[in-house]
Amino acid sequence: MRRVVYTKVGGPDSIAIIEEEDPRAGKGEVRVRVHRAGINFADLMMRQGLYGATPDFPFTPGYESSGEIIEIGEEVEGLAVGQRVLAMTGFGGYSEQVVIDARRAIPITDSMSYDAAASLGVTYGTAYHMLVHLGGLEEGESVLIHHAAGGVGTAAVQICQALGVTNIIGTASAPKREFVEKLGMRFVDRETENFVEVCKAATGGKGVHHAIDPVGGSHLMRSYKALRRGGKLYCFGASAAVPGEKRSLFAALRMWRSTPKFDPLKMMNSNKAVFGVHMGRMDDESLFQSHLRALSSMLERGDIEPIIDSVWRFEEVANAQRHMHERKNRGKVLLDFE
């Protein structure tokens, strides 16, 4: 079988594809033949050596794949060869075959496409965890979404709408205006407009109930200022540290140095909350599985439907990642291993 490998810290040209023996499922494990693998922004960061929780180089990235089970290890119950699953791989998902802990193989229904399954785990899982699980999002509230046209952004807006939330402000780069507006958000140009002012204007001067911020650095304080009293900020990324396809330690340092220290007394006085969210470091399998069950039901009902930007043959993985570095994607980017 073949798999994608990050050979060393570097740009997309440091990615290689290797061929090796098929893996075997051990006790408590299953082997999955992969059809699709999701690309996440975190994969771009880890290739640049800017992501904390990664194996040593060389390694195969990929948090999530979809495919069918082709081997069952000893002591695995409730799963069968031929079963279609979402494989939450942790790492290693950019691969023709993956062996995973059977608890991380989530069965999917026959009506769920492999594209949808590979798009559900990280993006929808993260948006759901923030807004619904932590935030208790309710009908009638207002939400600020950054990177609104991206994987998590498009997932977040759909989850909001499924819960009856319509006052949604989305920031993105200028070419994405029409796309963001069509999704039902008030578009804010991330380069030229002041999103804090837009949020206040859209909420009678009060500010939004929820702001999800994957940009990091000083941007976090602006998102905090966009909140109303009682509002909630979710810090879940650091895209400010990744200005291009090559690593910039200067940008990473600037992001880190400009990250605000939130003052608990000021937070108390305004009843604001700040959450840190890193799904890769969540160790509660059952919580994540319950998010995925809820999301699968929403998908079955037609309340959400992953927006797929593009599907690239896995041999084209470097170009697929360049496409994201160049900010061209609208929705989720997938790799095809069929």
Ligand X SMILES: NC(=O)c1ccc[n+]([C@@H]2O[C@H](COP(=O)([O-])OP(=O)(O)OC[C@H]3O[C@@H](n4cnc5c(N)ncnc54)[C@H](OP(=O)(O)O)[C@@H]3O)[C@@H](O)[C@H]2O)c1
Question: Smallest gap, in angstroms, from Cβ of residue 19 to ligand X?
Answer: 28
Evaluate whether 36 touches 120 at the Cβ level (below 8 Å): no
Decide whether 88 or 152 has the Cβ nearer to ligand X.
Answer: 152
Decide whether 117 or 122 has the Cβ nearer to ligand X.
Answer: 122
Question: Smallest gap, in angstroms, from Cβ of residue 40 to ligand X?
Answer: 4
Evaluate whether 93 touches 40 at the Cβ level (below 8 Å): no
Residue 334 near ligand X by CB under 6 A = no
Q: Which long-range contacts (CB under 8 A, 24 or more apart) does 54-59 make?
A: 54/91, 55/91, 57/6, 57/7, 57/8, 57/9, 58/5, 58/6, 58/7, 58/8, 58/16, 59/5, 59/6, 59/91, 59/92
Question: Smallest gap, in angstroms, from Cβ of residue 150 to ligand X?
Answer: 2
Q: Which two tokens stand for residue 261?
A: 């220290």
Residue 332 and residue 312: Cα distance in Å, rounded?
11
Decide whether 81 or 174 has the Cβ nearer to ligand X.
Answer: 174
Considering only residues 47-106, where is the footprint of ligand X by CB under 6 A? Answer: none
Considering only residues 212-271, where is the footprint of ligand X by CB under 6 A? Answer: 214, 236-237, 239, 242-243
Decide whether 10 or 73 has the Cβ nearer to ligand X.
Answer: 10
Considering only residues 185-204, where is the footprint of ligand X by CB under 6 A? Answer: 190
Evaluate whether 17 touches 315 at the Cβ level (below 8 Å): yes
Question: Residue 246's CB: how many other CB atoms inside 10 A?
Answer: 12
Residue from 106, 118, 277, 292 in contact with ligand X (CB under 6 A): 277
Report whether the peptide linkage leading into residue 58 is cis, meaning its omega lies within 30 degrees of zero: yes
Q: Which two tokens stand for residue 28?
A: 């408590």
- Phi first, then psi: give them for residue 158, nearest 5 degrees: -65, -40
Decide whether 41 or 195 has the Cβ nearer to ligand X.
Answer: 41
How many residues bind to ligand X according to rule CB under 6 A? 30
Considering only residues 303-332, where is the footprint of ligand X by CB under 6 A? Answer: 324-325, 327, 329
Q: Which two tokens stand for residue 224?
A: 């905090």
Give the residue from 127, 125, 141 showing the smallest Cα distance to 292. Answer: 125
Decide whether 45 or 99 has the Cβ nearer to ligand X.
Answer: 45
Q: Which two tokens stand for residue 9?
A: 């810290």
Question: Smallest gap, in angstroms, from Cβ of residue 236 to ligand X?
Answer: 4
Considering only residues 1-40, where is the footprint of ligand X by CB under 6 A? Answer: 40
Decide whether 104 or 176 has the Cβ nearer to ligand X.
Answer: 176
* Residue sitting closest to ligand X (CB): 150
Residue 170 near ligand X by CB under 6 A = no
Considering only residues 114-143, where is the footprint of ligand X by CB under 6 A? Answer: 122-123, 126
Question: Smallest gap, in angstroms, from Cβ of residue 234 to ligand X?
Answer: 9
Residue 42 near ligand X by CB under 6 A = yes
Angle at 36 between CA 61 and CA 175, to 5 degrees: 85
Q: Which residues sit opposite 313 in a β-bridge?
A: 336
Residue from 41, 94, 124, 337 in contact with ligand X (CB under 6 A): 41
Decide whether 259 or 270 has the Cβ nearer to ligand X.
Answer: 259
Give the residue from 6, 3, 280, 5 showing the smallest Cα distance to 121. Answer: 280
> In the complex, which residues of this chain contact ligand X (CB under 6 A)?
40-42, 122-123, 126, 147, 149-153, 172-173, 176, 190, 214, 236-237, 239, 242-243, 277-280, 324-325, 327, 329
